[in-house]
Amino acid sequence: MTGIDYSQKIPNNVDLKSDKRLQRALESWQPHFLDWWGAMGPTDYNANDVYLRTAVSVDAAGWAQYGYVKMPDYRWGIFLEPQQADRTIGFGDHFGEAAWQQVPGEYRNWLRRLIVTQADTEPASVEQQRLLGHTAPSLYDLRNLFQVNVEEGRHLWAMVYLLHGYFGKDGREEAEELLERRSGNPDHPRILQTFNEPCEDWLSFLCFTMFTDRDGKFQLLSLAESGFDPLARTCRFMLTEEAHHMFVGQTGVGRVIERTCQVLKDGKDPRAEGAIPMDIIQKYINFWSSSSTDLFGSEVSSNAANFFRAGLKGRAYEERQPEHLAMEGVYNLPTMGPSGITTEEIPLRNAMNEILRDEYVKDNEKGIAYWNRVCERFGNEYRFSLPHRRFHRSVGIYAGRHFDLEGNPIDEATWKANVDRWLPTAADKAYVKSLMKPCYERGKIASWIAPPAKGVNDQPSDFEYVKL
């Protein structure tokens, strides 16, 4: 069944009404979720109509239905891709066995940990972005922010459904705790550090959706391969929505670049015109891409090997791999030897985090190429680049050492001498912050960003995306 049952308190396509126990559990969690949204979401806009997309079914025709809705009334629900008959596990030691419809007891704790870690990032980003509504550069962008927010909320629902549906009492407790941890809270922070970083300006938000949400995409791709079928089906549908978030990031940063290119082409000074100089944009890219690169975890990981062999978390696009056991091969990992960088052979399974990171880096490169095409279009010679994955890392084998943007090891003094050229300085942040003024007149746009190429759902440029 692909159609979503909106007659229920909790919209779903999993026939929730026939599972009374689960329905009751989720219905008792729902008010806590709404309380959380009321406290930690974009609360100052709860009364406004927002032109949002809501899924009415998970197929191509139904997942994007547009209309005005007040955010607290958004129909958060549970949508899974349809079950494929006879699906088998696609990798690891259980390769070829029937996919699990229930949690295998042996892997229960690992699975729960994987789901909780993924789930924790969803409400975290809503919390990180909760005040950005006050400084959006246009109604179009404001609406995109809210779309991202409600969908992150829905992704939380997707994960909570798994916790409630398959993990008993522990799962329900974990679901409660997802609402208790808070981004940046000193007492109960979010699990992963990137999700405790403040996201206070729009350039950060756009970089976040470009780089951090792209980590989410690859985590979801690897979980979409899971031998635990309900997790795989949930993640596949989440990927559809996640793609929009990256669209916001990629085109958003692209529009910032476009605006600066336009100012430069007109022979004017970006700062005088309230645009953002290229080097500051590059520094934000450096910060957010390196911080998000950390999210893939250690290069050599027993957990990753365990998750792979157990059939819980695969590689992105596992079906494209030549073989699916990954028992034999090795991954050539550059490591820091006494005399510079040397290569170490890591058993393939232990290198799964790095293999996923490879795909992520490739994907990021495409985004950079897109931005450089903007420069080309304006005849601007500036070229953006993705910092090397070793640059500015806090997790894994490169953490605690210094590398330049090309990934060459450097000493502390060199780092200190260059860090202000590579990462946003306090002055850079202050300048970006000074530009953050709301621009909520229909059809108008702030000075630091170009208008979008086209409207949401082909709406005209002066469309009232949010009724303020």
Looking at the chain, how many residues does it have? 468
Backbone angles phi, psi at 322, to 5 degrees: -70, -30
Question: In the structure encoding, which two tokens stand for residue 358, read together?
Answer: 């490879």
Name the residue nearer to other proteins (CB basis): 70 or 113.
Answer: 113
In this structure, are residues 457 and 66 in contact, taking their beta carbons and an 8 Å threshold? yes
Name the residue nearer to other proteins (CB basis): 113 or 433.
Answer: 113
Please state, in angstroms and rounded to a whole number, the distance separating the CA atoms of residues 291 and 391: 10
Minimum distance from CB of 432 to other proteins (Å)?
28
Minimum distance from CB of 349 to other proteins (Å)?
3
Name the residue nearer to other proteins (CB basis): 187 or 381.
Answer: 187
In this structure, are residues 136 and 50 in contact, taking their beta carbons and an 8 Å threshold? no
Rg (CA), the chain: 22
Name the residue nearer to other proteins (CB basis): 156 or 348.
Answer: 348
Q: In what order do the strands lie in the sheet with 466-467?
A: 65-70, 49-54, 466-467
Minimum distance from CB of 188 to other proteins (Å)?
4
Picking from 287, 250, 236, 240, the residue whose alpha carbon sits closest to that of residue 419 is 287
Residue 426's CB is within 10 A of a number of other CB atoms, namely 8
Minimum distance from CB of 309 to other proteins (Å)?
5
Handedness of CA 213, 218, 224, 228 (dihedral sign): negative
Minimum distance from CB of 327 to other proteins (Å)?
6
Minimum distance from CB of 227 to other proteins (Å)?
14
| Burial (0-12, 13-18, 19+ Cβ within 10 Å), 10 | buried
Picking from 383, 384, 402, 382, the residue whose alpha carbon sits closest to that of residue 392 is 402
Residue 416's CB is within 10 A of a number of other CB atoms, namely 11
Residue 272's CB is within 10 A of a number of other CB atoms, namely 8
Cα 330 versus chain centre, distance: 29
Name the residue nearer to other proteins (CB basis): 399 or 468.
Answer: 399
Minimum distance from CB of 291 to other proteins (Å)?
16
Biggest CA-to-CA distance, the chain: 67
H helices within 198-313, ranges in order? 202-207, 213-223, 229-265, 278-293, 302-309
Burial 26-61 (b: 16+ CB within 10 A, else e): beebeeebeebbeebbbeebeebbbbbbbbbebeee
Residues forming the site for other proteins (CB under 8 A): 93, 109, 113, 177, 180-181, 186-189, 191, 302, 305-306, 308-310, 326-327, 347-350
Q: To which residue do tokens 């405790």 refer?
A: 196
For residue 121, give the amino acid letter: T
- According to DSSP, the residues that pair with 57 across neighbouring strands are 3
Name the residue nearer to other proteins (CB basis): 84 or 302.
Answer: 302
* Cα–Cα distance list, 344 to 90, 224, 400, 435 (Å): 28, 30, 19, 47
Minimum distance from CB of 186 to other proteins (Å)?
4
Minimum distance from CB of 381 to other proteins (Å)?
43
Minimum distance from CB of 114 to other proteins (Å)?
12
Minimum distance from CB of 72 to other proteins (Å)?
25
Minimum distance from CB of 326 to other proteins (Å)?
7
> Vertex 460, ends 455 and 461: CA angle to 5°?
70
Name the residue nearer to other proteins (CB basis): 309 or 402.
Answer: 309
In this structure, are residues 294 and 387 in contact, taking their beta carbons and an 8 Å threshold? no
